[in-house]
Structure 1
Amino acid sequence: MQGTSGLNSRHPFNLYYNAGEYMKICGTQDGYFPDFGHHVANEMGGVWLHPIKLLDGFWLRITDIDRNISVWSRSDSFTSEPWGSRFQYDHGLGHIPVRLERVQFAPELEKGMVADYQLLSYGKGTTRLKLELLARTDLRPVWFSDEIGIIDGEQDEVILSSERTVAVKDSAHDWYVQIGTDLPGTEVETGASVYGPEFTAGNGTGVVFRSGVIELQEKETLQFRLFVAGSYESQEESAAVYNKLVSSHEELLQEKKALYEVVENRAKLEIAGEDLLNEAFKWAKWNNQWLVQKVDGIGRGLTAGGPTYPWWFGCDNTYSLQGVLAIGDAQLAKDTLNLLLQKSEEANGNGRIVHEITTMGAVSNPGNTQETAHYIAFVWELFRWTGDEELLQRHYRYCVKGIDWLLQEMDPDGDLFPSGYGIIEIAGLNMELIDSAVYTAQALQAMVDMSRYLGEEENAKKYNELADRAVRAINEVYWCESEGLYADAVASRSDIEPKVDYMVSLAEREGIQGYRKYLEKMLTEAKDAKADRGWLLNKNWVIVTPMETRIADPEKAERALETMRSDIFIGEYGTYLAGIYKQGTMTISTGVHAVAEAANGHPDEALALLRRMLGSFSKVLPGSFSEMSPDYGCVVQAWTLYALTVPVIRHFFGVTPSAHAKTVHIKPQLPTSWSDRECSLSSLKIGEAALDISIAPQQAGAGRIVTVRNPQGWNIVIELDGQRLESTDTFINWAVEAAEVQA
């Protein structure tokens, strides 16, 4: 994988994100490391070895001795590579006649990072330089650590200093960072007052390595490196990692590039004429790898987003892991789900799935209602993609508890609509929310399948009856006939009235006028103060979940989807978080909406939503979608993978796996604009199988050819345009004649 895989930017103050499974690096695209962030105020950037921070940043100063010019280098061009970053300093060094490139990466499975500098002289004759390579340590714990009694030490202490290596320890903990370089020279200085071009917060110390006089002839190059290694356990480990970086950094970079090539070629999408979608799909897989976080003694799993949410979430992962399965990384899905289960058992034990786990292993929120239901539904999905019966059995028992928690503790009135917060955490709106109700019904359906597979027929019968009741109730109680939409929440008028002033204040804060009148109209319509009814409070995006899950009655689904195709719900970059506000868009709101359209037979509308979402691709970080469309929040967000892969793989290509039965159903539903194009999805991993699927127009006529490479000889069932084929051949080439293609 060559450097040309990278995407370029000339927006120097935007953020970037480099990552291995241990290390995360975040600064600005000009090569600097300004303080920013709110979880740990002003500390979310820099170099992190979760659950601790190692450095606030590092900087290079170049002095031209003869011209008496001294410049802290600041890049004017940035290239995002899947495996790291490149910073180009073609014009950012003033009148010093040198060019500089910095290439940095974090090895995938090492607790360290490497920054490689190359200076090229283009001045006539001899250019005499002095260089200073400076780093600021900041050994401190991740957010929420204070609440569990882990307090940052008062200072960082230098415990080892040589000409080209410095080791630093937190004064209160066995947290270490070792910094070094092969920059020519012998001078080193350390101290709390040693700073570079940026003043950074924290109790760190400065480390600066200075060169002697460096003489470069025209077109001569100087190469040197910065090595950073850390440990949250011992100085010995930090030193061992450092030595490996020094001796093997070239091999580690090649290993990393090779890994990202494997990621690129797994579930590889190629749609003729859809270059932007193909590119975004590829980068979403790479982005996903950036967000894998491993912490010794705690676990490995997919984090929510960088740099603002670099820890593990129940809600985010029940979406994101659907995408992870679709791109064939079953191990990551298993690792993440096992981590969620372990922490939920420790923190709750009653079936409730936790919301948020820091990399220190602390649970900061025991769990919102929706994520327990969503987790249960996902357990069955994971089993269908992997066929891992041992994993199913392990999670099933907690799922049984989870259903009991949802339908007993969280549903005291027994209407099968659990109360509490859902995906949208708006203070005070902890009612019977639509997403919690829908995912509970979906969880009950999943429990039927799990119970039957595991031979628990009594449970299957019980859950089946509950699932049928829940689906009927959602379609009766949440449906708002006058609006042609499902409601945000179910509650009585007496429950809503105390919240009116607060909800109005939220609307007015966002500049929304007339909201009180809108609420009062609904209150007037609710004649019985004690009777539950549906309320369209904000027209939140989650009202699309009945269609996403196929729980909506078909007629209601069609009407609701048609209603939601208006500019009340959809803006330039996709689906608004709330139609009342017509503000804020996320890849998850757009993605779930796209899945809902595709799941109900509308691939053209689904693709139209994805095209809107693609408008935010690379707006901030080249090769990535921001958390909030188009350009704010986390610069990389895990659930974007759901938004891209689930509509395309599960619905456009129509892949439904049953790995435990070694069977895959393929029922393509291509957008109209793709009907005359070649569409392929290669190396699609399902259980132990790896399929290549292609759909192409016949050379003559309007028919299509479906090709499936099936080297493991699984049972492949293909349905296309009303025709059906079932085969275990290792190579299937099936032509659907033009006369059979339906309009």
Structure 2
Amino acid sequence: MDAHSELMKSYPWSGTTPNQQTYNLPDTGGYDGQNLVFRETGTPPVPGAEPHDWAAVVGSTLRPVDHQLGPNFRGPQDPAVICPATGPDPGRCDDTVIGKGTGGQLHYVVRVPAGGTTVWFAVAGSDRGLAAARSARDTALTDPAGLLAAKVAYRRQLNDRTDVSLPGDPLLQASVAWSKQNLGDSVQEARDLRVRLTNQGTQYPPPAGTVPQARWIGAGFPDYPWLFATDGEYTAFAAVAAGQFTAIENHLRALRDVSLVANGDTGKVVHEVVPDGSVYFGVNADPGNTDETAKFPSAVALVWRWTGDNAFRDELYPFAVKNLRYIYATLDRDGDGWPEGLGNVERPGMGQEKLDNAVYTIRGLTDLADMAASRGDTATQAWASSRAVNLESRFEAAWWFGPTADQYADSLSDPGDVKVFQRHWIGLTPVEAELVQPGQPARPLAATDHANLAVSKREEPCYTGTFGLYHTGTGATTAPTGNPGPTCDSAVSTVPSERSIFTLGTSIMAVSEATLGRAQVRRYTTDNARVQLDPSVWEVPGDMPEISPSPDFGANIDKLFTERSMGLQAWGTYGILWPVVHFELGVAPDLGRGAVEVVPQIPDGQSSVAGRDIRLGTGSVDVAATRTPTRLTTRVTRHLSAALTIGAVLPAGRTCTGVILNGAPVPCTVVPTARGQEVRVAAGDAWTVQLVVSMA
């Protein structure tokens, strides 16, 4: 068996100051009679670097009969192709000049009895020295079958939660199952994080402080499985829909803990944190970070509504208050209420005030007001609510670009709040972002007419390709590269299109379609499901990728390994799990107030949807909905104590002619919502409730 080491810290990187070529020390190889032993010890020749003692051991339950040590031993990759640290790469790279590992080989004689035998191998390491690495190896090999069985049992538990049946869309049903596992795959943990403010990789100062332990949902594999705020705040919707509450609660705690060390009490949320604690971007001195700071209160409120965990709400609430206070103390210099700073689109030519920041700030204020009310914090409730109401009342006039585009402006340029239209994907955020207020159906921020115009336009070929939504649509532009695609409007942009399809953008489109009850949602859930599950498209079978095959990006699997995007990107699961659980099954909890709504919407052309063990708090609900030409039936079984509102969304153009609840007629109460006309009924106390809606 060959093994080749590379004991290397997760930061610095090849392009930072200092870089990894300077920081990385040579590994040494050895043999202890049972295992290959690799060490890296010493202090890198970099100001601010600490001494370290890193170790890894490779071995088996068998004792080797022989061994070899040497600089190679990469298995079939010998002889290795060593690539330069910078510049173009050849078609194959087995290592770079940054790598300073070494290798070894273990020889075994294996006697195989009748019926076979199992030989276990282990690779174990530690940043605390050789004894800790050996201890980890012993733990792994003491009962490896038991550890594997425990992991399989846990993954089966993840599979059993949010167990959906979508007979009219088996691809989407399979994607739900795999997306739950993608989230499970993505959970990471680090200890003794040394929070170092790297100023976007230009410095390596002493740590500002430490965080003893952090767990989070890693953003992307293989390159950046670390802690991101933006990613996690989108992934939160997928996590609660999957019932993976602990993972997202820990993620939000980790963001708070690192932010408090990096930024003190300002309330600013860090953007990007490497597992060793290095903060690449998102400290007080960095511009913006408006998006993740505005979204943090909404992520806390989301988790609170799905779990009913008041202790979690109370733990994160003070930081959530500081988030929005920070925005208005620091990021609204002209005092117009629209925050300045960076948002999700990291592209040139945008105005100071970004659409997504404005949208998520309004939602954040609304959610903060809701949590404040639940805690009796009337001062914060009044402050947040009044700001949210004021901004919402001015939103359409300030941001709707008009009939030349049938879209929202991507940004506003100061002075004068001049509308800037560039066709970026964030134009959908006013539709994607729901405002949740007690006693009212959730609704998108966007006005209904503008919402439908915006989403309809995005379905056209200037915005949508084979596998989903383009990052930046095509059309008339003054950019030197011109317009490479169709034109769907009469507006003129100043930036080039970008026909790269991110699974997040397609998720935003799927959720936007779902908030409006539009049948085209299936087009976009299918797009994400295909790049995850279609053998003719996937890169990693079953994994939701970062970027789908698209005109300006190509296919990930055809690129050099060093040029690929992520094979697994957690936030793409948002566009699968949330449309199914929240919109098709219609599950909308408010467990902080002891209530839950279940109002399914069965897609056109389908006759049934169902979900078992939809986790809510410490319990769950089972939902089954069926549709015939004249009848809608919703059946809900509660496995928790919560006031239930049960209902169904009427198909477009249909009217309610009668309602029966558990065999007894009840009034036909119809509530207009963004999804359409919803029949809603208080379900009473029965644990299992069936609602039958007759329609004409």
**Corresponding residue for 2:664?**
none
**Corresponding residue for 2:593?**
661
SS at the partner of 2:575? helix
For the Cα contact (< 8 Å) 1:153–1:171, is it kept in 2?
Answer: no
**Code of the aligned partner of 2:103:** G
**Code of the aligned partner of 1:489:** S
For the Cα contact (< 8 Å) 2:531–2:544, is it kept in 1?
Answer: yes
Indicate yes or no: 2:539 matched with 1:620: yes
Listed as ranges, the matches of 1:157-556 within 5 Å are: 157-158=28-29, 160-162=31-33, 164-172=34-42, 173-182=52-61, 185-198=64-77, 199=80, 200-201=95-96, 202-211=99-108, 224-296=119-191, 297-349=212-264, 350-366=266-282, 368-427=289-348, 429=350, 431-482=352-403, 483-492=405-414, 530-537=415-422, 539-549=423-433, 550-556=444-450
For the Cα contact (< 8 Å) 1:712–1:730, is it kept in 2?
Answer: no
Change (3 A) 1:194 1:655: closer
User: Under a length normalisation based on structure 2, what TM-score does the superposition of the two structures give?
Assistant: 0.77
Change (3 A) 1:459 1:245: closer
Indicate yes or no: 2:574 matched with 1:642: yes
Whole-Å Cα distance in 1 between the matches of residues 30 and 446 of structure 2? 64
For the Cα contact (< 8 Å) 1:179–1:227, is it kept in 2?
Answer: yes
SS at the partner of 2:347? coil
**Code of the aligned partner of 1:620:** E
For the Cα contact (< 8 Å) 1:707–1:731, is it kept in 2?
Answer: no
For the Cα contact (< 8 Å) 2:528–2:572, is it kept in 1?
Answer: no
Q: How many Å apart are 1:395 and its aligned residue?
A: 2.1
Change (3 A) 1:148 1:670: farther
Change (3 A) 1:208 1:730: farther
**Code of the aligned partner of 1:702:** T
Unaligned ranges ≥5, structure 1: 1-132, 493-529
Whole-Å Cα distance in 2 between the matches of residues 225 and 301 of structure 1? 29
Deviates more, 1:539-548 or 1:203-212: 203-212
For the Cα contact (< 8 Å) 2:36–2:106, is it kept in 1?
Answer: no
Q: How many Å apart are 1:336 and its aligned residue?
A: 0.4
**Corresponding residue for 1:4?**
none
SS at the partner of 2:5? strand
Q: How many Å apart are 1:396 and its aligned residue?
A: 2.0
For the Cα contact (< 8 Å) 1:703–1:735, is it kept in 2?
Answer: no
SS at the partner of 2:456? helix
Unaligned ranges ≥5, structure 2: 43-51, 81-94, 192-211, 284-288, 434-443, 475-496, 550-554, 557-564, 651-669, 671-678
Q: How many Å apart are 1:552 and its aligned residue?
A: 1.0
Q: How many Å apart are 1:730 and its aligned residue?
A: 5.0
1:20-68 C-alpha deviation (Å, 9 max, x unpaired): xxxxxxxxxxxxxxxxxxxxxxxxxxxxxxxxxxxxxxxxxxxxxxxxx
For the Cα contact (< 8 Å) 2:602–2:626, is it kept in 1?
Answer: no
Deviates more, 1:398-407 or 1:255-264: 398-407
For the Cα contact (< 8 Å) 2:528–2:576, is it kept in 1?
Answer: no
Indicate yes or no: 2:27 matched with 1:156: yes
Candidates 682, 687, 698, aligned match of 2:612: 682
Candidates 604, 611, 615, aligned match of 1:672: 604
**Code of the aligned partner of 1:155:** P
Candidates 144, 158, 177, aligned match of 2:12: 144
User: Under a length normalisation based on structure 1, what TM-score does the superposition of the two structures give?
Assistant: 0.72
Q: How many Å apart are 1:148 and its aligned residue?
A: 8.6
For the Cα contact (< 8 Å) 1:594–1:607, is it kept in 2?
Answer: yes
**Corresponding residue for 1:66?**
none
1:620-640 C-alpha deviation (Å, 9 max, x unpaired): 111112110134211111112
1:527-570 C-alpha deviation (Å, 9 max, x unpaired): xxx43221112x00110011112111122112222222211111
Indicate yes or no: 2:3 matched with 1:135: yes
Change (3 A) 1:155 1:703: same
Change (3 A) 1:185 1:561: closer
**Corresponding residue for 2:88?**
none
**Code of the aligned partner of 2:105:** V
Change (3 A) 1:343 1:190: same
Whole-Å Cα distance in 2 between the matches of residues 472 and 208 of structure 1? 70
**Code of the aligned partner of 2:411:** A
SS at the partner of 1:140? coil
Change (3 A) 1:486 1:240: same
Whole-Å Cα distance in 1 between the matches of residues 55 and 64 of structure 2? 25
**Corresponding residue for 1:80?**
none
**Code of the aligned partner of 1:567:** P
Percentage identity across paired residues of the two chains:
25
Q: How many Å apart are 1:401 and its aligned residue?
A: 1.9
Q: How many Å apart are 1:183 and its aligned residue?
A: 5.7
**Code of the aligned partner of 1:348:** N
Q: How many Å apart are 1:187 and its aligned residue?
A: 0.5
Candidates 683, 691, 694, aligned match of 1:727: 683
Q: How many Å apart are 1:400 and its aligned residue?
A: 2.1
Q: How many Å apart are 1:184 and its aligned residue?
A: 6.8
**Code of the aligned partner of 1:263:** L
SS at the partner of 1:557? helix
Aligned length: 562
**Corresponding residue for 2:465?**
571
Indicate yes or no: 2:695 matched with 1:741: yes
Candidates 696, 703, 716, aligned match of 2:644: 716
Whole-Å Cα distance in 2 between the matches of residues 220 and 451 of structure 1? 65
Whole-Å Cα distance in 2 between the matches of residues 443 and 582 of structure 1? 29
1:599-626 C-alpha deviation (Å, 9 max, x unpaired): 1232x12122212222312311111121
Q: How many Å apart are 1:229 and its aligned residue?
A: 0.9
Whole-Å Cα distance in 2 between the matches of residues 375 and 741 of structure 1? 42
Whole-Å Cα distance in 2 between the matches of residues 345 and 282 of structure 1? 36
Whole-Å Cα distance in 2 between the matches of residues 293 and 381 of structure 1? 22
Change (3 A) 1:345 1:139: same
Whole-Å Cα distance in 1 between the matches of residues 322 and 640 of structure 2? 37
**Corresponding residue for 1:106?**
none
Whole-Å Cα distance in 1 between the matches of residues 498 and 101 of structure 2? 44
**Code of the aligned partner of 1:687:** G
SS at the partner of 2:520? helix
Whole-Å Cα distance in 2 between the matches of residues 188 and 663 of structure 1? 64
Change (3 A) 1:465 1:185: closer
Whole-Å Cα distance in 2 between the matches of residues 645 and 183 of structure 1? 44
SS at the partner of 2:532? coil
For the Cα contact (< 8 Å) 1:153–1:170, is it kept in 2?
Answer: no
Change (3 A) 1:215 1:392: closer
**Code of the aligned partner of 1:422:** G
Whole-Å Cα distance in 1 between the matches of residues 74 and 594 of structure 2? 60
